[in-house]
Chain A
């Protein structure tokens, strides 16, 4: 099918009958085999680019996306169109196992949604995708700005996506590649272009959203408490409309998602809060309520994610100044995706400036965390092989772990399971395999098996995946996933210095960008001028 046929067949019902802006150019570039980076403002239809491209190519599409809520939304939209999609995070371990084996046997969905963490750490997924790599036509990296360590949205796992693609496809056999994002400064752009070998960068001329009316309110040295009065006035002015308030703090005695929710819920109905600490089901409830209009005001952190599709948010308020112009524009861009007039208010105080500075200063990895993580990673009592359960790491430890890999202190040798106890035989080969494991050690711990046999761990793990894919092993219980690694070299002081200096440079860069933002606000420059200057929008 060509792109027009795809549009006709799958998108006509959504009243999408033609392409907008740079969509067609981006689709053509992907289909021509370019590795594409596409910058397009929120609401201009980035998702359509990968959906149409994927359907034209006619093979499976892997979509790597940072947020479960975002993936869920896109998954639901495509399923409604009758397309076969797979969203692994939504499934329990048994169904994940079943789906991966199904893929291994050649039954492929049209779209496979995975998080960057899964791409980095799920060895079974990687094995299966490698088996059927010739049937995958396109890899999409959504919200690609998360790859940038220069920004607050940085996710360590994003940095490993190129390695993931290499391991699945081979370094010279990448499929079509499409990276999508709404906001990117030059440094971020260069990094993505380098990491993904981008051959074509398409930038929408409409990066400036003309339907957004942005107001920067410089409250100078007044205490943050007084912002609440201004906030209330905004609520009154926009009564009945959907208002998203970015607060950026979850916990504390004031000025957080929860304290503001408690205060204003005494005055207004249809009000809620959204941050990383609420359950997934709560997040879904709030998103749904905000979508259908039963919730009108939401206090949120940046966990109210990128690309969430609620077109009629009319107002976005920044209660706390964002870290950067990019983040500010990204977040205020949640408003007015329906193209109708929308409003953004940023409440700036010197107190909140100082608060944000403290957050930046404590961001990224410091020496203490780095050394602690390294100490934790040293394999026990003379063993060469270490193992780690990635999902148990805190965010800062993940960053430290990623840095130790990046600087080749640690080498990941396999991504597998800690024990074969979770498997049961489903065929003769599986039966024999498990029997032999138990004869080596009743513990069935994979590390112990390898040590006793003198075989490399990656060979045992690959064998497990192979037997699973062949249907020789099935799951008896939830598999305990682990990353196995070796220590390449000691974390000498000079390496620590190099890493910390690099982190410090990034921290300073972020601080510099933030202070430029602050200075522009304090000089009473307009939001439009500030955004256009920072993002090179003409």
Chain B
């Protein structure tokens, strides 16, 4: 997408396409065809294997490591977003914003402390955001997540194969976003940390990974730019080149379906090659790692897109 086309007819058309199943399948065909090579490289890449162990055991160790790392971070989110505590926070929404979110919620804390120039507007919006609205938004997020997790059996989850089918569009209906402040980046980070079984993390790395997997093509996009990117064609950059970011407006429900299908391919591959089953409870932890691998393998290209001189852009979590 192109930033200069925000609110234009082309923009609206492109946005509709991102939610369209037919268009999704066209893009998926290309993504799927790219997957094999990346999966092979992912499994063959060094994961600090211990030479005396068999590949299966090494992979098992690696999976354990991924899950342990996730759990350490997960604990921090569980501690603060316990549904019972959400009722307590209602009595001090200023404290919720100032202490709980700003200082103890990892994704918000790290983003607030980041020196990346691209986050300047977000930081201002966050500082000005009403504590009550922030509380209400997070209350809605946590309530939604708890209910979704309770209702979504593995059986039902395994049946999901359409954008509508994952019901993540309900996040919008349930007021789980706060414009300019709590977008899909933060939202998905929190959800993925709390419930990695059912919620993928739409962090920027995931978007860049899909950009790479879709062969960096503009598929049916009137602006002739990838739907996974936001080309900042009307914003002057320090480097003088037109920079791009991930498309932070991308619908979460569509991203989730790509991620789920990629997971299924990856999971099947692990079972075939290694006779291992990645724990369903942490399924999207695997994809987080896979996405990171894909982007890391093309780091230079991505950094050029981002504008090389701002090295902090690459490291921020949302």
Q: Is the CB of A387 within 8 A of B95?
A: yes
Which of B85, B95, B130 lies in contact with A447, CB distance below 8 A?
B95
With the chains together, A421 CA to B103 CA distance in Å?
10
- A445 at interface, CB cutoff 8 A: yes
Binary interface profile of A, 439-460, with partner B (CB < 8 Å = 1, else 0)? Answer: 0011101111001000000000
**Known contacts A380-B131, A448-B88; is-contact A443 B100 (Cβ 8 Å):** yes
Measured CB to CB, the nearest residue on chain B to A445 is B95
Q: Is the CB of A418 within 8 A of B98?
A: yes
- B234 at interface, CB cutoff 8 A: no
With the chains together, A376 CA to B132 CA distance in Å?
10
With the chains together, A477 CA to B131 CA distance in Å?
22
Residues of B50-91 at the interface with A, using a CB-CB cut-off of 8 Å, are: 82, 85, 88-91
With the chains together, A386 CA to B98 CA distance in Å?
13
Which of B89, B91, B103 lies in contact with A480, CB distance below 8 A?
B103
Q: Is the CB of B99 within 8 A of A445?
A: yes
Contacts of A482 in B (CB 8 A): 94-95, 98
**Known contacts A442-B82, A443-B100; is-contact A419 B95 (Cβ 8 Å):** yes
Contacts of A445 in B (CB 8 A): 88-89, 91-92, 95-96, 99-100
**Known contacts A442-B88, A443-B89, A445-B89; is-contact A392 B127 (Cβ 8 Å):** yes
Q: Is the CB of B98 within 8 A of A389?
A: yes
Q: Is the CB of A477 within 8 A of B103?
A: yes
A468 to chain B, nearest CB (A): 18
Q: Is the CB of B99 within 8 A of A418?
A: yes
- B209 at interface, CB cutoff 8 A: no
With the chains together, A446 CA to B91 CA distance in Å?
10
Contacts of B93 in A (CB 8 A): 380
**Known contacts A383-B91, A388-B94; is-contact A421 B132 (Cβ 8 Å):** no
With the chains together, A317 CA to B154 CA distance in Å?
75
Residues of A367-424 at the interface with B, using a CB-CB cut-off of 8 Å, are: 376, 380-381, 383, 386-389, 392, 418-419, 421
With the chains together, A480 CA to B130 CA distance in Å?
18
With the chains together, A439 CA to B280 CA distance in Å?
36
- B232 at interface, CB cutoff 8 A: no
Residues of B112-154 at the interface with A, using a CB-CB cut-off of 8 Å, are: 127, 130-132
With the chains together, A491 CA to B15 CA distance in Å?
45
A contacts with B, residue count (CB < 8 A): 24
Measured CB to CB, the nearest residue on chain A to B132 is A380
B90 to chain A, nearest CB (A): 7
Q: Is the CB of B90 within 8 A of A381?
A: yes
**Known contacts A421-B104, A443-B85; is-contact A387 B92 (Cβ 8 Å):** yes
Measured CB to CB, the nearest residue on chain A to B95 is A445
Contacts of B98 in A (CB 8 A): 387, 389, 418, 480, 482
**Known contacts A421-B104, A477-B103, A480-B103; is-contact A448 B94 (Cβ 8 Å):** no
Measured CB to CB, the nearest residue on chain A to B86 is A443
Which of A418, A441, A478 lies in contact with B94, CB distance below 8 A?
A418
A80 to chain B, nearest CB (A): 34
With the chains together, A451 CA to B90 CA distance in Å?
12
With the chains together, A478 CA to B102 CA distance in Å?
12
Contacts of B127 in A (CB 8 A): 392
Measured CB to CB, the nearest residue on chain A to B92 is A447
With the chains together, A380 CA to B91 CA distance in Å?
8
Residues of A462-481 at the interface with B, using a CB-CB cut-off of 8 Å, are: 477-478, 480
Q: Is the CB of B88 within 8 A of A480?
A: no
B98 to chain A, nearest CB (A): 5
A193 to chain B, nearest CB (A): 39
With the chains together, A168 CA to B82 CA distance in Å?
41
Q: Is the CB of A441 within 8 A of B99?
A: no
Contacts of B90 in A (CB 8 A): 380-381
Q: Is the CB of A443 within 8 A of B88?
A: yes
B134 to chain A, nearest CB (A): 11
Q: Is the CB of A451 within 8 A of B91?
A: yes
Contacts of A443 in B (CB 8 A): 85, 88-89, 92, 95, 100
21 CB < 8 A contacts A-B: A376-B130, A380-B90, A380-B94, A380-B132, A381-B90, A381-B132, A383-B91, A388-B94, A418-B99, A441-B88, A443-B89, A443-B95, A443-B100, A445-B100, A447-B91, A447-B94, A448-B89, A448-B91, A448-B95, A451-B91, A482-B94
Q: Which residues of B approach A to under 8 Å, CB–CB?
A: 82, 85, 88-96, 98-100, 102-104, 127, 130-132
Given contacts A380-B94, A392-B127, A442-B85, 16 further A-B contacts (CB under 8 A): A380-B90, A387-B95, A389-B94, A418-B94, A419-B99, A421-B99, A442-B88, A443-B92, A443-B95, A443-B100, A445-B95, A445-B96, A447-B92, A448-B91, A480-B99, A482-B94
The 10 closest A-B pairs by CB, nearest first: A447-B92, A445-B95, A419-B99, A387-B94, A418-B95, A445-B92, A443-B88, A418-B99, A448-B91, A480-B99
